[in-house]
Structure 1
C-alpha cells in the first residue's frame, strides 16, 4: 500500500499545477486569430513554405517554433473536456480560419515561386501513417502538461517541432498550387491527424486533472462527446494503420529483394550494371542488367521460381539482355573513337616532327657562328645569318645571307675570305655576304 501511494505521488500531475483560472485565461487568449497572431501565422506559413521549397530542415523548424496554430486546438480540447460548447465553437471557428489563411498563403507562395519540384522535406508530409498519430498524441500530452504547469520549462518549443502542424499545411498548399491532388489530400490528412490527436491528448489531461464542467451536462451529451472522439479516432487510425502496414510491406520487399540479388548474383561474381526494384500491392518487379552475363529462357525461369524462397512470390523478375548488347556496342564505339583520336594524334606528331625538322634546316646557330667570325675577323662586332628566298620569273632560289657590322669596312680580300669560309663552314654552295 505504501509503495502504491509513493508511485501515485511520483506520477501525480497535481504537484506544480498552475491555478486553473489562470490556465484557462491563457488558453482562451491563444485561441483568437487577429492582429499580431494573424500576422505571425502568415509569416510562419511563408517561412515554412520557403523551407519546404529549398529543402531546408532548419528553416522549417524555425517556422514551427513561431507558429501559433496550437492555440485553437488546445482550446478545443479544453472545451470538450469541460463540456464548454461555446468555447468549442469559438475554437473550431478560429482553427478553420487559421487553416484557410494558411492554405491560401502557402498556395500563393508556391504559385509565385519558380521552383515547383517536390523536395524530400515536402514528400515526407504526403504519406502519413500510424507513427504520426503516436507523435501527435504524445506531443499533445507533453504540450498540455506544460501549459498547466506554473513553471512552463522547455517542453513547449519541442512540442511545436514534434507535432509539426505547419509543414503539412504548406505541403497541402503546394498540392493546390501545382494541381497535385494526391499531395493535397495526403498532407491535409496528416494535418487532420495532428489536430485531432493533440485535441484528444488535451481532453485526456483535462479529465485526469478533473477540470470541472462549466455547466450541468446530462449523460446524453457526455456520451455524444465520447462517441465523437471515438469515431474520429477510429476514422483516422484505420487508414493511418493501413499506410503504416503498406510501408512495412514495402520495407520487407526491399530487404528480401536485396537479399535475393546478393545471394543469386553478387556472391557469384556477376557484375550488375543496373538494378531497379518497384513495390506494388498488385505485383512488384525486380529489374536487372549485367555486365558480362546472358541468361537463357530456362535459366530465367529457374531464377523466377527462386523468388518464392525469398517470400517474393508476387514479384516478377525482369532481366534486360539488350543492355549487354548495348554495352558491347558502346564499348566498340568507344574503342573506335579512341583509335581515331590516336590516329589524329599520330598525324599531329608527324606534322610537328616535320615542322621541327624544317625549322632546324632553316636556321643556324647564330651565337656560335658569330663568335667564330669575330675571332677570325676582329673588326666584325655583330652578325646575323638566315635563309632567304629569291624569286625570279620562273625559278625560286633559297640562299643563306650573312649580314655583318664592322668597325671599319672590310677589304675585298677579307670579304672574299669570309665568304669562302662561310661556304665551307655551312656546307653551302653559295652564301651572300652583306655589310650593314
Structure 2
C-alpha cells in the first residue's frame, strides 16, 4: 500500500510539474499579447495591396535603385531598394485572402500583383537597355539560380511578416527585415536585365526565383492566418459560397502544389551537390594531381546526373579513374556519370619544380624584406630610452649629474650612410667630482648595443 501511495504521489508531482511547464511555455510563446483585431489586420494588409499613386511611384523608384545597385554591384544600394519597396503588399494579400476566404481581396491582390510585376519588369528593362554598363556582376548573377535556402528564407520571412502585421504595434523592425531577407525586388530587376540584353536564361532564372519567393511568402501568410484562427468570411448565398470555395481551393492547389514539388526538387539538387563535393574531395586526393574545377549537374529527363572534374598535374591512369567511378555507389551516386578531363602525358606538369620555384621566390622576397628592414633601422633615428638609462646610471655612477643621449647616422660627403653612432653629453654632479669616461663609454656600448659612442663631459661651470 505504501509503494502504491508513493507511486501515486510521484505521478501527481510529475503531472503538476508538467502542467506548470506547459503553462510557462504557453505564456512565453503565446501570440495573444498585443494581438490586433482581425478586421484591423485585414484593413492594414488590404491598404498595402493597392498600387496607386504613391505606392506605384515608390515601386518605380525602388526598381530603379535596385537596378542601379545590381549594375554597379553595390549590396548597400540593393538593400536600400528592398527597404523602400512596397512589393510585399499584394503577396501577403493573396495569403491572407486564402486564409479568411475573402474572394474579393484575392482578386484585388492578384490584379495588383500582376500590375506590380509588369511595372517593375518594364522599369528595369528600360534602365538596363539604356545603361552603358552591360556586364553581369556578382550581385546580379546571384539572383539567377534559386536554391533551397531561398525557399526557406521566403517561408520564414513570410511567417515573420504576417506575425508583425497581426500586432497592434507595427513600429518594429520586423517588416523592413523581412523585405531585406526575402529580396523580392532584385530578381525582378535581374529579369529585366535578361530581357534588355537578350539573355533569356537570366530572365527565366530570376523570374523563377521571384515566383518561388512570392509563393512561399503567401503560403507562410496563409498558414499563420489559419494558426491565429481568424474568422472566415461567410456568404449569404450558399451556391455562391460553394463556388467561391471551389475557386479558391483550385487557386490554392494550382499555386502551392507545384511550388512544393519545385521546393522538393531543389532540396534534392542541393543534397546531390553536397554529396558530389564530398565525393570529389575524398576520392580525387593525389600527391601530384589537383582538382582545379568541378561541375555538377543534376539529372534532367533522360539525362543522368553528371560530375565533371578538370585535373592539373600528373595524369591519372585509366585504372585509377575506373576505381573512382566504382566508388560512386559508395557515396550514393549510383546513376551518376563521371567525366574526368586531364592533360596528356606530354603536358605533364612537374609539381615539385613548381613548388621549388615558388619556394625560391618566397626566399628572395623574405631576403629583400630583411634588407629593407635593416636599411630602415639604419636611417631611423629612434629613442634610446634616456629615462631608463639615466635611472640606471644614477645607481652605477652617482657622480653623474645629468645626461643627454641621441642616436645619429654618419654620412660621407657623397650622401651615403656609413654607420650609426651614439652621442652622449654628461655633466658631473659638482665641479670637484670626476667621471670615469672609459667605464661610462663601455657601459653605454653594452647598454644601447651601439659600438660607436661619442662621449662628451661638460663641467657645471660651462653648463651655466
**TM-score interval, normalised by the smaller of the two chains:** 0.5 to 0.7
Structure of greater Rg: 1
Q: 1:40 to 1:326 in 2, by over 3 A?
A: same
> Is 1:197 the counterpart of 2:197 in the alignment?
no
* Distance in structure 2 (CA, Å) of the matches to 1:289 and 1:124: 28
Structure 1 segment 349-368 matched on structure 2, within 5 A: none
Residues 287 and 320 of structure 1 are in contact (CA less than 8 Å); yes or no, is this contact kept in structure 2? no
Distance 1:318 1:79, change over 3 A: closer
Question: Residues 304 and 317 of structure 1 are in contact (CA less than 8 Å); yes or no, is this contact kept in structure 2?
Answer: no
CA gap of 1:321–1:97, structure 2 versus 1, over 3 A, is: same
Task: State whether residues 125 and 171 of structure 1, in contact with CA within 8 Å, keep that contact through their aligned partners in structure 2.
Answer: yes
In structure 2, the partner of 1:278 is: 295
Taking only aligned residues, the RMSD between alpha carbons, in angstroms, comes to 2.7
Structure 2 residue 257 is matched with structure 1 residue 234: yes
CA contact (8 A) 1:137 1:201 kept: yes
1:55 and 2:84 are equivalent in the alignment: no
Match of 2:190 among 164, 171, 183: 171
Structure 2: unaligned runs, 5 residues or longer:
1-18, 355-464
Distance 2:263 2:225 in 1: 26
When residues 100 and 2 of structure 1 are mapped into structure 2, their CA distance, relative to the original with a 3 A threshold, is same
Q: Quickly say closer, same or farther: Cα 1:19–1:276, change in 2 above 3 A.
A: closer
**Measured at CA, do residues 306 and 159 of structure 1 come closer, stay the same or move farther in structure 2, by a change above 3 Å?**
closer
8 Å CA contact 2:148–2:270 kept in 1: the answer is no
CA offsets per residue over residues 167-202 of structure 1, 9 Å max, x none? 111111111112222221121121112222222222
Does the 8 A contact of 2:289 with 2:311 survive in 1? Answer: no
Contact 1:165/1:191 (8 A) holds in 2 = yes
Q: Contact 1:133/1:237 (CA < 8 Å) preserved in 2? A: no
- Specify the alignment match of 1:118 in structure 2: 136
Q: Is the 8 A contact 1:172 1:187 kept in 2?
A: yes
Contact 1:99 1:169 in 2 (8 A): yes
Normalised to the residue count of structure 2, the TM-score between the two structures is: 0.62
Query: 1:107 maps to what in 2?
Result: 125
Counterpart of 2:278 in structure 1 is 255
**Change over 3 Å in CA distance of 1:257–1:2 after alignment to 2:** closer
User: In 2, distance between residues paired with 1:137 and 1:302?
Assistant: 45
Following superposition, the deviation at residue 63 of structure 1 comes to: 0.7
Pick aligned residue for 1:88 from 83, 103, 106: 106
Q: Aligned partners of 1:56 and 1:157: how far apart in 2?
A: 19
Distance 1:223 1:241, change over 3 A: same
Change in Cα spacing, 1:39 to 1:323, as seen in structure 2 (3 Å) is: farther
Residue 42 of structure 1 is matched in structure 2 by: 60
Shift of 1:45: 0.5
CA deviations on 1:235-274 (whole Å, 9 max, x unpaired) are: 0121232233223322322332233332xx22xxx265x8
Shift in CA distance, 211/278, structure 1 to aligned 2, threshold 3 Å: closer
Q: 1:285–1:201: structure 2 CA closer, same or farther, 3 Å change rule?
A: closer
Number of paired residues? 318
Structure 2: distance between partners of 1:221 and 1:156:
31
- Residue 140 of structure 1 contacts residue 202 of structure 1 at CA under 8 Å; is this kept in 2? yes
Q: Structure 1: where are the runs of 5+ without partners?
A: 332-436
**Structure 1 outlier segments of 4+, above 6 Å:** none
Deviation, 1:28, is 2.1
Distance of 1:132 and 1:318 partners within structure 2 = 33
